[in-house]
Amino acid sequence: MRVLICIDDTDNLESRGTGELAENLAAEIQDRKWGHCEFVTRHQLLVHPDIPYTSHNSSMCFAADIDEQNLPALVKRAKAFLVEESAPGSDPGLAIAILERLSDETALIDFGRRAKQVVLNKQNAYDLAAAHNIHLSEHGGTGHGVIGALAGIGLRMSGNDGRLKGWLRIPANDGVAKVSDIVDHFDLGGVRTISGELLAHDDLIAVGEKPKAVFLNGKPYLLVSPLAEAATVRWQTSSRRELKQF
Amino acid sequence: MWFYIEEGRKLFLHGQEDYTAAAHAAEACPAFREDVEEEWVTDEKRSCYNCRLRRWTADSFQCQSSTE
């Protein structure tokens, strides 16, 4: 079965980031041979004076394909993991959704999108989670992280939100790589411009420092921008500034 | 100064898109701490925009450093 696992508000100014914890949890799930985990996506939520957050208010989500028999152990371990690993003063929340048991994806996606626009409360999150058989739990502090954790599930489910944690280590010759090689190597949905133009398989890309992928149409995509002086190579990987909007 | 003091906190006066000012402010700051990679928003590593101690607000960010 396919599950989405999302955590939020696990850090403080001195601790590891929530993204690293998500990666560690995913690695542990695989080490225990409970299933296979995908990449972690970062989802930006609303920044507002009424919302407590450490510095950026983002949640971290990953998908996992697991055997159904391992689900109870996974939920139990994920809860314990957050208790053990979350930083003092944080307000961690955990959400786990079993995709085949969801009756209405639209409400969850809508919750995720609203969490980017308006201030939501814990009761909003618990009510929605209960209505859709989603595990939602808090593990310290105020537990406000449940809001972002559930929102992250909805945003990942939307297929069109967030950046992937980490960067693509693209094999390149003299700083240049071909689209088809990049797509095959990283199993991307494609290479495209920020405005949505999909590049051809034989297009060449100038590979910049630590290029990142974004989550679009349910797949990771590498985004590129036109080179100012285009020759054989017309594109370069987009900068962090350009990716900020994702 | 790039910042002013407001209720004991420093608010960056240049918003979220002045990459030059954010880099200059970080260059001179002894408290700068690079944030985790997934929170970088500019390619200059040493920028207040990439600092662990910046706390985003709707229009800019507050600096959580105690260093003035």
Cα–Cα distance for residue pair B47/B29, rounded to 1 Å:
10
Return the percentage of chain B with pLDDT > 90, whole number: 74
Instruction: Specify the length of chain B in residues.
Output: 68
B6-26 pLDDT, tens digit each: 666 789 999 999 999 999 999
Chain A contact present for B41, CB below 8 A: yes
Same domain, A15 and A108: yes
Nearest to A64 by CA among A47, A54, A83, A77: A77
Q: Check A55 against B37: CB less than 8 A apart.
A: no
Q: What angle do CA B38, A191, A242 make, to 5 degrees?
A: 45
* Enclosing H/E stretch for A158: helix A145-158
Same domain, A150 and A114: yes
Distant-in-sequence, close-in-space partners of B37: CB < 8 Å, separation ≥ 6: A19, A165, A166, A167, A210
Helix, strand, or coil (residue A96): strand
Distant-in-sequence, close-in-space partners of A92: CB < 8 Å, separation ≥ 6: A7, A8, A9, A10, A82, A86, A138, A139, A140, A141, A143, A145
**Single pTM value for the model:** 0.94
SS (H, E, C) A174-192: CCEEEHHHHHHHHCCCEEE
Domain end, chosen from A113, A145, A163, is at: A163
Domain positions in chain B are 3-63
Answer whether A81's CB lies under 8 Å from A93's CB: no
Same domain, A70 and A175: no
Asked if the model's pLDDT at residue B66 lies above 80, the reply is no
Same domain, A135 and A70: yes
Same domain, A104 and A188: no
Same domain, A144 and A202: no
Nearest to B50 by CA among B60, B38, B64, B40: B40
Chain A contact present for B56, CB below 8 A: yes
Cα–Cα distance for residue pair A49/A36, rounded to 1 Å:
38
User: What pLDDT, on a 0 to 100 scale, did the predictor assign at position A231?
Assistant: 81
Domain end, chosen from A133, A163, A193, is at: A163
Q: What angle do CA A151, A153, A154 make, to 5 degrees?
A: 65
Same domain, A107 and A200: no
State ipTM.
0.89
Domain end, chosen from A163, A186, A217, is at: A163
Chain B contact present for A59, CB below 8 A: no
* Enclosing H/E stretch for B34: none
Same domain, A59 and A117: yes
**Residues paired with residue B63 on neighbouring β-strands, in sequence order:** B10, B54
User: What pLDDT, on a 0 to 100 scale, did the predictor assign at position B45?
Assistant: 87
Chain B contact present for A239, CB below 8 A: yes
Judging contacts by C-beta atoms under 8 Å, the chain A residues touching residue B54 are 55
Judging contacts by C-beta atoms under 8 Å, the chain A residues touching residue B22 are none
Whole-Å CA distances, A75 to A49, A111, A210: 32, 22, 34
Q: Check A13 against B64: CB less than 8 A apart.
A: yes
User: What pLDDT, on a 0 to 100 scale, did the predictor assign at position A186?
Assistant: 97
Q: Check B56 against A19: CB less than 8 A apart.
A: no
User: Which one of B35, B36, B38 would you mutate to disrupt binding with A, by most A Cβ within 10 Å of its Cβ?
Assistant: B38
- What's the token pair of residue A91? 């307000």
Same domain, A117 and A212: no
Residue of chain B whose alpha carbon sits nearest to that of A44? B39
Give phi and psi for A19, each to the nearest 5: -60, -40
Question: How many domains, chain A?
Answer: 2
Same domain, A14 and A72: yes
Distance from the Cα of B18 to chain A's closest Cα (Å) equals 11
User: What pLDDT, on a 0 to 100 scale, did the predictor assign at position B2?
Assistant: 57
Distance from the Cα of B1 to chain A's closest Cα (Å) equals 22
Cα–Cα distance for residue pair A122/A144, rounded to 1 Å:
6
pLDDT tens series, chain A, 246 aa: 999 999 999 999 999 999 999 999 999 999 999 999 999 999 999 999 899 888 899 999 999 999 999 999 999 999 999 999 999 999 999 999 999 999 889 999 999 999 999 999 999 999 999 999 999 999 999 999 999 999 999 999 999 999 999 999 999 999 999 999 999 999 999 999 999 999 999 999 999 999 999 999 999 999 999 998 768 899 999 999 999 999
* Enclosing H/E stretch for A220: strand A219-226
**Residues paired with residue B67 on neighbouring β-strands, in sequence order:** none
Q: Check A55 against B56: CB less than 8 A apart.
A: yes
Same domain, A144 and A194: no
DSSP output for A1-58: -EEEEEEE----TTS--HHHHHHHHHHHHHHTTSEEEEEEEEEE----TTS--SSS-E
* B36, B41, B53 member nearest A240 (Cβ): B41
Same domain, A7 and A119: yes
Distant-in-sequence, close-in-space partners of A173: CB < 8 Å, separation ≥ 6: none
User: What pLDDT, on a 0 to 100 scale, did the predictor assign at position B7?
Assistant: 64
Chain B contact present for A48, CB below 8 A: yes
* Domain span at A23: 2-163
